[in-house]
Amino acid sequence: MRTQAIVAVLALLLFCPAFEHPQATQAASDKKDVAAELAALKVQVAQLAKQAQNAQDYIAIANLQRAYGYYVDKCQWDQTADLFAKDGTLEIGLRGVWVGQDRVRAYLHTLPELKYGTLFNHMQLQPVIDVAPDGMTAKARWRAFEQFGALHRSAQWAEGTYENEYVKEDGVWKIKKLHYYMTYYVDYYKGWDQGGNPPPGPIAGFPPDQPTTEPYKLYPDVFVPPYHYKNPVTGK
């Protein structure tokens, strides 16, 4: 009988959690805590990696658009066209849409060359860049401030808004859609208080692939290019 009682007590100690050794219980608890902390750290690392990638994408897109501005300043049309995706589109002002990198290149080569007495400044300002959750596409709104000049002949101010789209191809960001809404186009000597000049017209012998996507009027008329983003405070 005594032996049977001892065996029963040992069985309870081995198989009933209430009788586990305190050190064994603490070790199991510690193991669970470490596993939970490790899982939480993995989540944090993944979040930080995504934030870091998003920051890198933001910088790359900003540099891409700024490079566009500098190349256009100097009429470096092939360098400009190389920034576009193969199926990229370009729409500037009210001239229509050119589709595909080759057509964008051809359009750009219809524009003037940089030579003595000419000035083309295209400042790229105030970016609002939104990268898609998958990190493969993005949209951005920019402001352009421009100066056009021909020595002893003409001087123009121009300003407008870009609503652009971008795509990452083989790890490199490219322009998917460049859409420039012109706000005003005015003579330097007259100033905008005297009204604006008509925007640049169609290019003779080089029609666009598609018509203007959204007709509008320039200053002194009022037109607000649609925003690609919601209000960051109200969400509307």
- Has residue 165 got a pLDDT over 60? yes
Mean per-residue pLDDT, 10-14? 43
Burial 188-216 (b: 16+ CB within 10 A, else e): eeeebeeebbebbeeeeeeebeeeeeeeb
List the domain range (segments joined by +) for residue 184: 22-236
Q: With 90 as the cut, is the pLDDT of residue 98 above it?
A: yes
Non-local (6+) Cβ contacts of 164 within 8 A are 65, 139, 140, 141, 142, 175, 176, 177, 178, 179
Q: What is the pLDDT of residue 38?
A: 83
pLDDT at 167 over 50: yes
pTM over 0.75: yes
Residue 145 and residue 156 in contact, taking contact as beta carbons nearer than 8 Å: no
Residue 137 Rama label (left phi>0; alpha psi -120 to 50; beta):
beta
Q: pLDDT band at residue 10, thresholds of 50, 70 and 90?
A: very low
Q: What is the pLDDT of residues 26-58, one digit of tens each?
A: 666 666 788 888 888 888 888 888 888 889 999
Q: How far apart are CA 15 and CA 88, in angstroms?
A: 70
Rounded Cα gap, residues 138 and 180, in angstroms:
16
In a domain, 6, yes or no: no
What is the secondary structure of 15-53 as a DSSP string? H-GGG--HHHHHHHHHHHHHHHHHHHHHHHHHHHHHHHH
pLDDT of residue 23: 66
Identify whether 1 is part of a domain.
no
- Tokens 């996507």 sit on residue: 213
First to last CA, the chain: 81
**Residue 24: per-residue pLDDT:** 63
| Average per-residue pLDDT for the chain | 89
CATH code where residue 121 lies: 3.10.450.50
Q: Is the pLDDT of residue 199 over 90?
A: no
Say if 14 falls within a structural domain. Answer: no
Does residue 9 lie within any of the structural domains?
A: no
Q: Is residue 16 part of a domain?
A: no
Judge whether 89 and 103 are in contact, CB under 8 Å. no
Lowest mean pLDDT among 15-24, 71-80, 177-186: 15-24
Query: pLDDT (tens digit, 9 = 90+) per residue, 175-185?
Result: 999 999 999 99
Q: According to the 3-state scheme, what is the secondary structure of 107-120?
A: HHCCCCCCCCCEEE
- Nearest-CA neighbor of 147 among 114, 182, 185? 185
Q: Is residue 2 part of a domain?
A: no
- pLDDT, residue 34, reads 80
Whether pLDDT at 123 is above 60? yes
**Backbone φ and ψ of 233, nearest 5°:** -100, -50
> Can you tell me the distance from the alpha carbon of 103 to that of 89, in angstroms, rounded to the nearest whole number?
9
How many structural domains is the chain composed of? 1
